[in-house]
Amino acid sequence: MEQRLSMVTLSVQDVAETRRFFEQGLGWKANNFESDDIVFFQTGGSVLAIYSRQALERDLGQAATQSLGAMTIAWNARTESEVDEVFSQAMRAGAISVSRPARAFWGGYSSHVEIPGGHLLEIAYNPFWSIDDAGNVTIPEGT
């Protein structure tokens, strides 16, 4: 198996609300696939899917449980000031502040918000990683 992720899927109660957060609030663009149950966002070489919890439960044949904080998705900035800007943008878009931007114990600058659907989004700057013009993150060898 190749070392990569193709897609991260977040199950949410209200797909339209979460879609509005990403599109209208953060300025992301969904692909043109039309469904009430799922929306896809191209994120570099992978995909973020927002999926109806009810549809996921049909797929699984059982209840889908959610544990806030058990997993986060992350967006890395190129600078600390960009973290501040995107944190403010997320708050205006309807996110709930979990931790405001601050210096992190690991040497970076980080914050967390709860997005519509109850999932956590980390907005962070990691001075040890580089981000190319296409938004691809590179972890240096030995870190």
Q: How confident is the model at residue 143 (pLDDT cuts 50, 70, 90)?
A: low
pTM of the complete model = 0.84
Q: What number does CATH give the domain 1-61?
A: 3.10.180.10
Fold of the CATH domain 68-137+139-143: 2,3-Dihydroxybiphenyl 1,2-Dioxygenase; domain 1 (3.10.180)
Domains of the chain, by residue range, sit at 1-61, 68-137+139-143
pLDDT at 92: 97
Find, among 126, 119, 124, 117, the residue nearest to 87 by Cα.
124
Q: Do domains 1-61 and 68-137+139-143 have the same CATH topology?
A: yes
Calpha distance 78→32 (Å, rounded): 29
**Contact residues for 42 (Cβ-Cβ < 8 A; gap 6+):** 29, 31
